[in-house]
A and B are shown apart, each in its own frame.
Chain A
């Protein structure tokens, strides 16, 4: 063992030297037209799902971002430089997300505006933090992202805690007496379910009849459906994604479940209604942040989007559009592409108009109000039911 120590040291020294040189390279390359320098386009990265089961939402997000980028560039860009959009696919998979984030960093990203699946966004946090790249996360909203307490991470979607609060508020308002909470064991889903359980127990009055999990990616959920019908709650709150959500709604109805069903924002997708089949999804509630359809005064924006991409905007296209605008605003205010200055500018932002209202970050870098509202499936479409105000 003794003989090996110098070897380890040597390897360490070489590694340190390498790191130093690459570090220097990073600084030096700034001068020769690299994006992290003072000339050339400013690179905006987005690590989002462009393949896999969340690809439809990823595409809405990408389009929303592209729209903001094009608008800003048409007006002359930021600090006299054009913005360059660099979307990277993460397929809602933590491993791919980490690789995509590393790629974005080495491509010279200045700000990251991605993040949809919380489970896949979580591993990208330290990667961007290390490179001191500010992250404006438009969709991912697990409390775990907030709990990392990283100075470079800002969330412009309501958090899991805010979503649970909205869910509990609506349950009380709707006169629900007992609830079954079902999650799919992912970070995002478990977060909302456990927070809702805590909130319900703290508030009292509404009984948690059942709190259980399913395995995502299966077809048969008869065992959980059996548990639910056995507990017979007034409402089932499903906090996972739409694929399993659709199947569970279908199987609950087939099993003769008569209570109410509510889903969280990951299940708000037209496919949920299609998978549930027939009229099974009619009357299903959803906790959701504002979508283009439910925002007042967004008609021109929707028309522009539809004209540009040939299809109507979907969930998170507005938040993604706002994330890019916010990034541009922060870079302008900072007067520089330096990470620390942009972070300071983001912290100082007060009253910047987003679709969800004027923005001011809380000390935790989240929205001061989540903006969650209740949607309901009516005539095969999600429509606004109650804005909880």
Chain B
């Protein structure tokens, strides 16, 4: 039982990190950024490229090296997220919602097959692998790398939350989410805020990518697809557009999967998970913590 809870929370923290980007972008420009899952994949590949170009890293240094790579990857994948927004989404701002949505799907495919063309279609094995001691916590097997990754994920989420709540940029983001036209009239540089939103969201996805690569060991160019869908589900469950909702939704989705698999068997896990998504969309479309939304994609 405690093992299931721990497994669920661990997977859920990955979902939450990616769901945050989905939710922030949706909250501010009402766009479902389908390329977001691919930024997770891109993060993993950027981390892979950096780590393998360094050469052999001694085991004692691997955590330090990983943290440096994590930081650099966040900056690069954030930059790529901003670039995508500039090239693919900004020219379409003000056009029908569907046009932007389809562009997002296009951006997703461009990233996937771009990486496949450059890095090859075969899976790669991450040069640094986090493997460590396991502890017994209340009957659950918990490993040291899992704890490290959980701590990183929680720190990232907490700092994002305080950033949104405490800084003027965060206030501007919330203002635009409420009323973009009004914010523009009040002298907020809307484009700058949107750029910054994409940067943060993409950086978080990139971080999740590096963490997944280092923990699971295998990366491939389609790895962002399913997790992107799951993160979207998490964002909807938590209330899309709501930061705390995305975190809560991610963790909850992880738990749903763990228990769904236990109760119904592995082959029914995804059926169960996505049935919950449908139930949420029909019964409480605003999600757990979401506000009333009048318009939806």
Q: Report which A residues bind B (CB closer than 8 A).
A: 51-53, 55-56, 182, 185, 212-215, 217-220, 222-224, 226-227, 243, 246-247, 250, 254-256, 271, 274-275, 277-278
Instruction: Verify B266–A227 contact, CB threshold 8 A.
Output: yes
CB distance from B277 to the nearest CB of A (A): 15
Instruction: Verify A254–B267 contact, CB threshold 8 A.
Output: no
A216 and chain B: residue at smallest CB distance: B226
Q: CA–CA, A212 to B260, complex, Å?
A: 13
Instruction: Verify B266–A247 contact, CB threshold 8 A.
Output: no
Inter-chain contacts of B125 with A (CB < 8 A): 271, 274-275, 277
Q: CA–CA, A352 to B187, complex, Å?
A: 83
CB of B183 within 8 A of chain A?
A: no
Q: CA–CA, A219 to B126, complex, Å?
A: 13
Q: CA–CA, A256 to B133, complex, Å?
A: 11
Q: CA–CA, A256 to B134, complex, Å?
A: 9
Q: Report which B residues bind A (CB closer than 8 A).
A: 3-4, 7, 10-11, 14, 116, 121-123, 125, 129, 131, 134, 141, 143, 212, 216-218, 220, 222-223, 225-227, 257-258, 260-262, 265-267, 269-270
A56 and chain B: residue at smallest CB distance: B122
CB distance from B157 to the nearest CB of A (A): 19
Instruction: Verify B266–A52 contact, CB threshold 8 A.
Output: no
Instruction: Verify B10–A222 contact, CB threshold 8 A.
Output: yes
Q: CA–CA, A212 to B262, complex, Å?
A: 11
Inter-chain contacts of B11 with A (CB < 8 A): 220, 222
Inter-chain contacts of B261 with A (CB < 8 A): 223-224, 226-227
Q: CA–CA, A219 to B41, complex, Å?
A: 12
Instruction: Verify B122–A271 contact, CB threshold 8 A.
Output: yes
Inter-chain contacts of A213 with B (CB < 8 A): 265-267
Q: CA–CA, A250 to B214, complex, Å?
A: 13
Instruction: Verify A212–B223 contact, CB threshold 8 A.
Output: no
Shortest 6 CB-CB distances between A and B: which pairs?
A: A223-B261, A212-B266, A213-B267, A219-B216, A222-B7, A275-B218
A–B Cβ pairs within 8 angstroms, 8 of them: A51-B116, A55-B122, A213-B265, A217-B222, A217-B223, A222-B11, A223-B262, A275-B125
Instruction: Verify B217–A271 contact, CB threshold 8 A.
Output: no
Instruction: Verify B267–A212 contact, CB threshold 8 A.
Output: yes
Residue from the list A217, A243, A275, A278 in contact with B225, Cβ < 8 A: A217
Residues A247 and B218 in contact in the complex (CB < 8 Å), given A218-B226, A223-B266:
yes
Instruction: Verify B217–A275 contact, CB threshold 8 A.
Output: yes
A273 and chain B: residue at smallest CB distance: B125
Q: CA–CA, A246 to B219, complex, Å?
A: 12
Inter-chain contacts of B262 with A (CB < 8 A): 223, 226-227
Instruction: Verify B270–A243 contact, CB threshold 8 A.
Output: no
Instruction: Verify A53–B122 contact, CB threshold 8 A.
Output: yes
Instruction: Verify A215–B134 contact, CB threshold 8 A.
Output: no
Given A224-B266, A254-B134, output 7 extra A-B contacts at Cβ < 8 Å: A55-B121, A185-B267, A215-B269, A217-B226, A222-B11, A223-B258, A223-B269
Instruction: Verify A255–B266 contact, CB threshold 8 A.
Output: no
CB distance from A35 to the nearest CB of B (A): 30
Inter-chain contacts of A217 with B (CB < 8 A): 222-223, 225-226
Residue from the list A214, A223, A256, A278 in contact with B141, Cβ < 8 A: A256
Instruction: Verify A215–B131 contact, CB threshold 8 A.
Output: no
Inter-chain contacts of B121 with A (CB < 8 A): 51-53, 55
Q: CA–CA, A344 to B179, complex, Å?
A: 75
Instruction: Verify A277–B129 contact, CB threshold 8 A.
Output: yes
A250 and chain B: residue at smallest CB distance: B217
Q: CA–CA, A217 to B226, complex, Å?
A: 7
Instruction: Verify B123–A53 contact, CB threshold 8 A.
Output: yes
Q: CA–CA, A182 to B267, complex, Å?
A: 10
Q: CA–CA, A274 to B217, complex, Å?
A: 9
Inter-chain contacts of B265 with A (CB < 8 A): 212-213, 227
CB distance from B141 to the nearest CB of A (A): 6
CB distance from A185 to the nearest CB of B (A): 7
B215 and chain A: residue at smallest CB distance: A219
Residues A275 and B123 in contact in the complex (CB < 8 Å), given A217-B225, A222-B258:
yes
Residue from the list B10, B217, B266 in contact with A277, Cβ < 8 A: B217
Residue from the list A182, A212, A243 in contact with B123, Cβ < 8 A: A243
Residue among A215, A222, A227, A271 having the largest count of chain B Cβ atoms under 10 Å: A222
Instruction: Verify B131–A278 contact, CB threshold 8 A.
Output: yes
Instruction: Verify A214–B222 contact, CB threshold 8 A.
Output: no
